[in-house]
Amino acid sequence: MSSKTVQTLDRVVIRFAGDSGDGMQLTGDRFTSDTAALGNDLSTLPNFPAEIRAPQGTLPGVSSFQLHFADHDVLTPGDAPDVLVAMNPAALKANLGDLPRGATIIVNTDEFTKRNLAKVGYSDNPVDDGTLDSFHVHAVALTSITVEALAEFPTLTRKEKERAKNMFALGLLSWMYTRPTTGTEAFLKSKFGARPEILAANLAALTAGWNYGETTEDFASSFIVPAATMPAGTYRNITGNTALSLGLVAAAHRAGIPLVLGSYPITPASDILHALAALKRHGVTTMQAEDEIAGIGIALGASFGGAIGVTTTSGPGVALKSEAIGLAVSLELPLIIVDVQRGGPSTGLPTKTEQADLLQAMFGRNGESPVPIVAPKTPADCFTAAMDAVRIATTYRTPVFLLSDGYLANGSEPWSVPSVDSLPDLTVEFASEPNGVDPKGEPTFHPFLRDEQTLARPWAVPGTAGLEHRIGGIEKADVTGNISYDPDNHDLMTRLRQAKVDGITVPDLVVDDPSGQARVLVLGWGSTFGPIAAATRVVRNAGHTVAQAHLTHLNPFPANLGEVLKSYDRVIVPEMNLGQLSMLLRAKYLVDIRSHTSVRGLPFSTVELADVISTTLEELS
Amino acid sequence: MSTTTDLGMPVSGLRSVPHLPDDADKQTKRDFTSDQEVRWCPGCGDYVILAAVQSFLPELGLKRENIVFVSGIGCSSRFPYYLDTYGMHSIHGRAPAIATGLATSRADLSVWVVTGDGDALSIGGNHLIHALRRNVNMTILLFNNQIYGLTKGQYSPTSKVGQVTKSSPVGSVDSPFNPVSLALGAEATFVARAMESDRAELTTILKAAAEHRGTALVEIYQNCPIFNDGAFEVLKDRTQQEARIVRLRAGEAVTVGAEGERKVLVRQGSGVMKFIAEAEAASGEKGAVVVHDPALDDPSQAFQLSRLDSPEMTHVPMGIFRQVDRPTYDDLVRAQVDAAVSTAGGPATDADLTDLLLGRDTWTVG
């Protein structure tokens, strides 16, 4: 047994960084799963280039995965890593600036060759030229030790052996932080079951990494991060894209109607298509369309037929779908448009996060074309948001935007899995009989006779005898749905469509202010919830008071929003855009907003937001 | 799980659509006529097609509520409003995509797309070719008047080179599509062409198209009396039509012209097809007589027939070019879902959903 010391920590942030072919995302995923199984609370941030394999060893090719885990509740993936695993010089150079002094760096010295150093502009080797003096550096020949450890696998090529170095790194980190590797072993068995040699080599590399930590003197101690105290429940770790997919399936299940997805592949939304395509057993139909427009067309066609039609995309795809969204507004059929936002404009930053599609979702169509918007606040909240989007779509017969983003999509956190009974009942009622009489006194069907409460029109699906009717994008007469160019009718229908969306029931905004004395409110929407909550915690821990509230419904806004805004001296709105929510709030409520914005393709850091709050508090004092 | 399923071809396109019971009252044209005033220009060819469709639909014996017409934008796309079935007048060019979603999620519907040359071949070209290659069970009626009518007279993707229109005052320089060639190139399993004015032939083709399992494309030559009047006059003119229209008949030699002036299509040694006098064809020296076979798996002959057409309309083939059986997209999509559901023992229960939500990696607190 090892005679090494074991220290207890309350939280750790680890960043795995390497070339995009080094398997860093997988390594991070596995470490996360094993950490979740230990009962730590956690939050993750994958960060990878848009290129599948950017030129090897270059800065643009660096892929990283950051994990924050703790013995208490975790709100963000962490501002700065305590530990950086750098598989090559590019990974070191790209991430060094984020490290606080005293951080631990594990470098794969095998990759620190003259050639690789030159590729990223290092003239000397930073590992031994003093550059890293203020850090704890573990220089480990990761590649060659892995290859050596796999000497007993003569049929494997050197390249295949080298490829297992990420498992060596995972084994080493698992030893350092006392994580079990049984989950990873099971994972490898299912992944490489058909290739026993590769499986055995990966398992051997994992063990070798663990043993390396335990036996070499380089690593003096290992660490324990005890389990967090979390509410009772059954938990799993979940990414936003997975949670969103499950939310859609659960909603269709609770609605008792089929889920039909029409989608065209686009980063970072494609994983929802992949997830749903694998759920045929749950009656889910997925169609990969020829383009973005066909994707929404397929979904809308399915909705006409009585399914819940869904299309998934990112900002550029929304631009292409705009005309069809307008059609759905006019047809008044249920439809879900999932926009997993990424950096824009145009192709922008396909793999990075941003919140700059809010105004596109609000207004990006011709004519007066209101569409409800739901925006999840954490990866796990994507489940709830997806279910609520389906509630709104089916209750009010309207397209609904579900605004996720790259950070939520790929980030993960533990999720307390709800029981099916506790999920909302979304039972749908289709029209089944005539609802009016024609001029001759015969029973007839009026496709635009609205429900007095919701203003929703009846959903009469083909196959229902006696309710044959035609709908379309041309303005329709109130009640009868016949084509109408009448000026007063268009004015009425435009106002009815707006009133319907304005009248959607959404939960009131809940303000978190433990002191009850706060004069400053921080209001966010979407994925900024974690960083804002973490920042308010920092500020409160320093003895100040600040209130926090978070919008998950952006159209319509919660009924009490205006009242909340007016009850604070200052309202700070941080957004990963140039102030889109701020603009809406100023326009609607005539209140001053302190807009704080950043579009770096990364979530806000806690420190940055805590500074903004503190500065505002100082101004008031 | 297998990715393809033996669906026991061939089956009718209307197999899963509910039919009227035998003792039901016979449907008539009136049953399919909506209460809406028809608003095409006087003399528009669309009236003739509408009347033909309204009169023919009762022949199918389907429950009216299980028929859906989906259209795009353009004069022809107003069609659904005038039929008392379910209908959707959608957006420009996108009807095939919307119909794909509807037909795939609802096996019990007879789905029709009504489109025009601009809607189907210009703004909606992508959706058309993908519907055809997928072979979704639906019937596409492509009204070709070689002009943009609703936007008041611009050249379309089927307008002739040199055609003078509002947007081509000194003649169009765009090379036109041949819709039949395009459809065959897109792997369509049913392709036909008809004249709006030939009610009997149009009805025969519509019936075959409706019963075809897969995407059936029917190009219908249609006159626009306002912006492109007389585009097909030489084919309607009784003194000329016999010499110009090549009536494709399965199992028969491909011929054109009236008795006594008849020409026969032969395939020359080089593979090129040519019409020669009937008398010359008998010997076989000038090439093998082409016998029409729409069921040929290889679309080459059908494609060659489609190329007999020319802007001068010297020889215009009419009828069914291709009619082959190939598994349909919607049947295959449904079969995959059905197989997954039945393998798992039936529709997902609350317990199945619970298992899905839990996933494979859970831990319990408290």
Q: Which of A233, A250, A468 comes nearest B366 by C-beta?
A: A233
Angle at A242 between CA A240 and CA A248, to 5 degrees: 100
Work out the burial of residue A113: count CB atoms within 10 Å of its CB; fewer than 13 is exposed, 13-18 middle, 19 or more buried.
Answer: middle
Mutate to test the interface with A, among B50, B138, B361, B364 (most CBs of A within 10 A): B361
Show which of residues 216-255 on chain A sit within 8 Å of chain B, judged by CB atoms: 230-238, 246, 249-250, 253
CA A542 to chain B, closest CA, distance in angstroms equals 31
Residue B15 pLDDT: 87
Q: Which of A289, A291, A470 comes nearest B80 by C-beta?
A: A470
Contact status, residue A302 vs residue A274, Cβ threshold 8 Å? no
Q: Does B81 touch chain A (CB under 8 A)?
A: yes
> Is the pLDDT reported for residue B366 higher than 90?
no
Q: Does B37 touch chain A (CB under 8 A)?
A: no
Q: Cβ contact (<8 Å) for B36 and A299?
A: no
Question: Tens digit of pLDDT for each residue in B174-200?
Answer: 999 999 999 999 999 999 999 999 999
Dihedral (Cα; B113, B117, B121, B122), 10-degree rounding: -120
Question: Tens digit of pLDDT for each residue in B322-347?
Answer: 999 999 999 999 999 999 999 999 99
Contacts of B22 (CB under 8 A, 6+ apart): none
Query: How do beta strands B288-289 and A221-224 pair?
Result: unpaired
Six token digits for residue A151: 């000497």
> Is the pLDDT reported for residue B7 higher than 80?
no
> Which residues of chain A are within 8 Å of residue B353 when distances are taken between CB atoms?
249-250, 253, 282, 420
Rounded average pLDDT over B261-290? 93
Show which of residues 90-149 on chain B sit within 8 Å of chain A, judged by CB atoms: 90-92, 94, 97-106, 108-109, 126-127, 130
Percent of chain A whose predicted confidence (pLDDT) is above 70: 100
Q: Which of A183, A301, A471 comes nearest B100 by C-beta?
A: A301
Q: Which residue of A has its CA nearest to B351?
A: A420
CA A235 to chain B, closest CA, distance in angstroms equals 5
Q: Which of A237, A281, A301 comes nearest B99 by C-beta?
A: A301
SS3 A129: coil
SS3 B339: helix
SS3 A593: coil
Higher pLDDT, B11 or B230: B230
Q: Does A324 touch chain B (CB under 8 A)?
A: yes
> Is the pLDDT reported for residue B8 higher than 70?
no
Q: Which residue of A has its CA nearest to B133?
A: A290
Q: Does B89 touch chain A (CB under 8 A)?
A: yes
Contact status, residue B54 vs residue B29, Cβ threshold 8 Å? yes
Query: If we measure between CA atoms, which residue out of A358, A313, A350 comes closest to residue A335?
Result: A313
Higher pLDDT, B1 or A150: A150
Query: If we measure between CA atoms, which residue out of A528, A538, A510, A519 comes closest to residue A610?
Result: A538
Query: If we measure between CA atoms, which residue out of A506, A532, A544, A504 comes closest to residue A606?
Result: A532
Mutate to test the interface with A, among B106, B135, B328 (most CBs of A within 10 A): B106
CA B33 to chain A, closest CA, distance in angstroms equals 11
Query: If we measure between CA atoms, which residue out of A241, A294, A247, A307 comes closest to residue A269?
Result: A241
- Edge-first strand listing for the sheet containing A11-19: A41-47, A62-70, A11-19, A83-86, A104-108, A136-140
CA distance A224 to A10: 8
E strand residue ranges, chain B: 67-71, 86-89, 110-116, 138-144, 190-195, 215-221, 245-247, 255-256, 263-267, 273-277, 288-289, 316-323, 362-365
Q: Does A369 touch chain B (CB under 8 A)?
A: no
> Is the pLDDT reported for residue B10 higher than 80?
no
CA B110 to chain A, closest CA, distance in angstroms equals 10
Q: Integer distance in angstroms from the first to the last C-alpha of chain B?
A: 40
Six token digits for residue A24: 């860093």
Residue B286 pLDDT: 92
Residue A49 pLDDT: 83
Q: Which of A280, A290, A302 comes nearest B126 by C-beta?
A: A290
Contact status, residue B61 vs residue B43, Cβ threshold 8 Å? no
> Which residues of chain B are within 8 Å of residue A387 when distances are taken between CB atoms?
none
Query: If we measure between CA atoms, which residue out of B73, B76, B127 comes closest to residue A474?
Result: B73
Q: Which residue of B has its CA nearest to A289?
A: B97
Per-block average pLDDT, block size 10, for chain A (621 residues)? 81 95 93 92 90 86 95 94 97 96 96 95 94 95 96 92 96 96 92 92 96 92 93 95 98 98 97 98 98 98 98 98 98 98 97 97 98 98 98 98 97 96 97 95 96 98 97 97 97 98 98 96 98 96 97 98 97 98 98 97 95 96 85
CA distance A594 to A603: 19
Q: Does A468 touch chain B (CB under 8 A)?
A: yes
Dihedral (Cα; A34, A40, A46, A52), 10-degree rounding: 10
Alpha helices in chain B (DSSP H): 45-60, 95-105, 117-118, 125-134, 179-185, 199-211, 233-236, 238-244, 278-281, 300-306, 329-343, 350-358
CA distance B99 to B112: 8
Q: Does A302 touch chain B (CB under 8 A)?
A: yes
Question: What pTM did the predictor assign?
Answer: 0.94
CA distance A327 to A474: 9
Contact status, residue A562 vs residue A575, Cβ threshold 8 Å? no
ipTM attached to this prediction = 0.96
pLDDT band at B308 (very low <50, low <70, confident <90, very high): very high
Contacts of A594 (CB under 8 A, 6+ apart): A570, A571, A572, A573, A616
Six token digits for residue B201: 């032939």
Work out the burial of residue B168: count CB atoms within 10 Å of its CB; fewer than 13 is exposed, 13-18 middle, 19 or more buried.
Answer: middle
Q: Cβ contact (<8 Å) for A282 and B89?
A: no
- Token pair 């819940």 is found at A308
Q: Which of B106, B336, B354 comes nearest A420 by C-beta?
A: B354
Please state the separation of Cα B93 from the chain's center in Å.
Answer: 15
Contacts of A189 (CB under 8 A, 6+ apart): A199
Q: Cβ contact (<8 Å) for B366 and A231?
A: yes
Say how many CB pairs under 8 Å bridge A and B. 209
Residue B2 pLDDT: 41
CA distance A474 to B90: 9
Half-sphere exposure at residue B125, Cβ-oriented, CA atoms within 13 angstroms:
12
Q: Cβ contact (<8 Å) for B364 and A250?
A: no
Residue B3 pLDDT: 43
Six token digits for residue A35: 């950490």
E strand residue ranges, A120-232: 136-140, 221-224
CA distance A110 to A126: 13
- Average pLDDT value over all residues in chain A: 96
Alpha helices in A278-405 (DSSP H): 292-304, 315-331, 358-363, 381-396
CA distance B289 to B60: 36
Contact status, residue A399 vs residue A412, Cβ threshold 8 Å? no
Mutate to test the interface with A, among B90, B126, B187 (most CBs of A within 10 A): B90
Q: Cβ contact (<8 Å) for A420 and B99?
A: no
CA distance A459 to A310: 17
CA distance B50 to B33: 9
Helix (H) or strand (E) holding A284: none
Q: Which residue of A has its CA nearest to B132?
A: A290
Q: Cβ contact (<8 Å) for B365 and A294?
A: no
